[in-house]
Structure 1
Amino acid sequence: MTADRPLLGIFLMLGFCVLAPMGDALAKLLGGTMPTMQLLLVRFGIQAVILIPLVQATGRPWQLRGRLLRLTALRTLLHIVGIWAMFTALQYLPLADAVAIAFVMPFIMLLLGKYVLGEEVGPRRLGACIVGFIGTLLVIQPSFAEVGLPALLPLVVAVVFALFMLVTRQLAKDTDPIALQAVSGVMASLVLAPVLLFGHLAGIDALTFVAPSGETLWLLLSIGVLGTAAHLLMTWSLRYAPSATLAPMQYLEIPVATAIGWLIFRDLPNGLAALGILITMAAGLYVILREQATARSAATGTSG
Structure 2
Amino acid sequence: MPSTAARPAPSASEVTTGLALMFLSVMVSPLIDIFAKLAVVTVPSAEITAARFAVQALCMLPIVIWRRCFIDFSWRQNLFHAIRGAIITVSMVSFVTTLKYMAVADAIAIFFVEPIMLTILGGIFLKETIGWRRYTACGVGFFGAMLIIQPSFQEVGYVALLPVVSALCIAIFVLMTRVLSHREDPWSMQFQMGIWGLVFCTILLLVGEGSGSDIFDPVMPEGSAWFYLAGVGATAATAGILGVYAYRAAPASTLAPLQYFEIVSATIFAWLVFGDFPDAIKWLGIMIIMASGFYILWRERRFASKPVSDTSEVTLAP
TM norm. shorter chain > 0.5: yes
Taking structure 1 as reference, are residues 207 and 230 closer, same or farther at Cα in structure 2, changes over 3 Å only?
same
Q: Which moved more, 1:83-92 or 1:171-180?
A: 83-92
Aligned with residue 188 of structure 2, among 159, 166, 179: 179
Does 2:39 match 1:26? no
Give the alignment of 1:83-102 within 5 angstroms: 83-102=92-111
Per-residue displacement from partner, 1:240-275 (whole Å, max 9, x unpaired)? 999999888755433322121111111134555544
Q: 1:286 to 1:110 in 2, by over 3 A?
A: farther
Post-superposition Cα deviations, 1:150-173, rounded to whole Å, max 9, x if no partner, equal 234333333221211111111112
Give the alignment partner of residue 44 of structure 2, picking from 8, 26, 35: 35
Instruction: Tell me what 2:81 maps to.
Output: 72
Distance 1:44 1:62, change over 3 A: farther
Higher helix share: 1
1:200 aligned partner = 209
Distance 1:268 1:88, change over 3 A: farther
In the TM superposition, residue 90 of structure 1 has moved relative to its aligned partner by: 2.1
Alignment of 1:139-218 (within 5 A): 139=148, 141-218=150-227
The unaligned stretches of length 5 or more in structure 2 are 1-12, 311-318
Question: Is the counterpart of residue 221 in structure 1 residue 230 in structure 2?
Answer: yes
Normalising by the residue count of structure 1, what TM-score does the alignment of the two structures yield? Answer: 0.79
Hey, what does 1:107 align to over in structure 2?
Answer: 116
Once residues 126 and 246 of structure 2 are traced to their aligned partners in structure 1, the CA distance between those partners, rounded to angstroms, is 27
Identify if the C-alpha distance between structure 1 residues 262 and 120 changes in structure 2 by more than 3 Å, giving closer, same or farther: same
Separation (CA, whole Å) in 1 of partners of 2:20 and 2:28: 12
Q: Is the 8 A contact 1:61 1:176 kept in 2?
A: no
Shift of 1:202: 4.3
Q: Which amino acid aligns with 1:221?
A: A
Q: C-alpha separation between the residues in 1 aligned to 2:130 and 2:14? A: 30
The verdict on how the C-alpha distance between 1:265 and 1:122 changes in structure 2, with shifts beyond 3 A counting, is same
Give percent identity, aligned residues only.
37
- Structure 1: where are the runs of 5+ without partners? none
Change (3 A) 1:182 1:62: farther
Q: 2:219, 2:21 → 1: CA distance?
A: 35
Q: Which moved more, 1:203-212 or 1:97-106?
A: 97-106
Alignment correspondent of 2:7: none
Judged with a 3 Å threshold, the aligned counterparts in structure 2 of structure 1 residues 20 and 278 are, in CA distance, closer, same or farther, namely same
Distance 1:230 1:127, change over 3 A: closer
For 1:232, the equivalent position in structure 2 comes to 241
- What's the TM-score once normalised by structure 2's chain length? 0.76
Q: Shift of the alpha carbon at 1:228?
A: 1.5
CA–CA distance in structure 2, aligned partners of residues 111 and 119 of structure 1 = 9
- Report the Cα distance in structure 2 between the residues aligned to 1:283 and 1:9, rounded to whole angstroms: 17
Distance 1:215 1:98, change over 3 A: same
Q: 1:99 to 1:55 in 2, by over 3 A?
A: same
Structure 2 matches for 1:55-66, cutoff 5 A? 55-61=64-70, 63-66=72-75
In the alignment, the residues of structure 2 paired with residue 73 and residue 36 of structure 1 have an alpha-carbon distance, to the nearest angstrom, of 20
Closer, same or farther in 2 for the Cα pair 1:81/1:294, shift >3 Å? farther
The change in CA–CA distance for 1:238 and 1:204 in structure 2 (over 3 A counts) is closer
Alignment match, 1:268: 277
Out of 134-143 and 64-73, give the one that drifted further.
134-143
> Over residues 264-304 of structure 1, what are the superposed CA-to-partner deviations in whole Å (9 max), with x where a residue is unaligned?
111134555544454444445545655565643359x9xxx
- Give the count of matched residue pairs: 297
The one-character-per-residue Cα deviations of 1:114-156 (angstroms, maximum 9, x if unpaired) are 3444432223333333434444444554443532332343333
Query: 2:118 aligned with 1:120, yes or no?
Result: no
CA contact (8 A) 2:149 2:282 kept: yes
3-state DSSP of counterpart to 2:100: coil
After superposition, what is the alpha-carbon deviation per residue over 1:47-101, rounded to whole angstroms, capped at 9, x for unaligned?
1222123211222245433443322222222211222232223223332333344
Secondary structure at 2:65 match in 1: helix
1:86 maps to a residue whose letter is F
Matching residue's letter, 2:34: A
